[in-house]
Amino acid sequence: MIMRTKTTRRRSARPSERPNRMWPYLLFLALAALLLVFFLSGPRGTIRLLEQSKEKERLQQEIEALERTKAALDSEKVKLHLDAYIEKIAREQYNMKKEGEKVYKIQIDDKDK
């Protein structure tokens, strides 16, 4: 009668003889780290996209401000064709007066306070 005996694997005592099964995991981790760095900091990386979106928002605000300034200047341009507006500017900014008109200057003393 033939008896079967339990076969067991023999473990080697030296680590150099053991098959190294860690290298696929290390390779996977290295590739994952490389891809993560590329996606975060590459030319189309997440950090670059965030910076570009902030820059776009800042430029949009600047465009809106410039459009408001342009509208105000266009309004001023139209008003400058009116004689009454030109007269008002001449009186207020350049202290001009009409012929025969008297100008009174009023000084307020700060000593009364």
Q: Residues 23-33: what's their mean pLDDT?
A: 89
In a domain, 105, yes or no: no
pTM above 0.85, yes or no: no
Domain that holds residue 29: 23-98
Helix, strand and coil in the chain, % to nearest 5: 65, 0, 35
Counting beta carbons within 10 angstroms of the beta carbon of residue 45, is it exposed (0 to 12), middle (13 to 18) or buried (19 or more)?
middle
Tens digits of per-residue pLDDT, 101-113? 887 888 888 875 5
In a domain, 107, yes or no: no
In a domain, 9, yes or no: no
Tens digits of per-residue pLDDT, 43-83? 778 888 889 999 999 999 999 999 999 999 999 999 999 99
The C-alpha atoms of residue 40 and residue 47 are separated, in whole angstroms, by: 6
Domains contained in the chain, number:
1
In a domain, 36, yes or no: yes
Predicted pLDDT at 36: 83
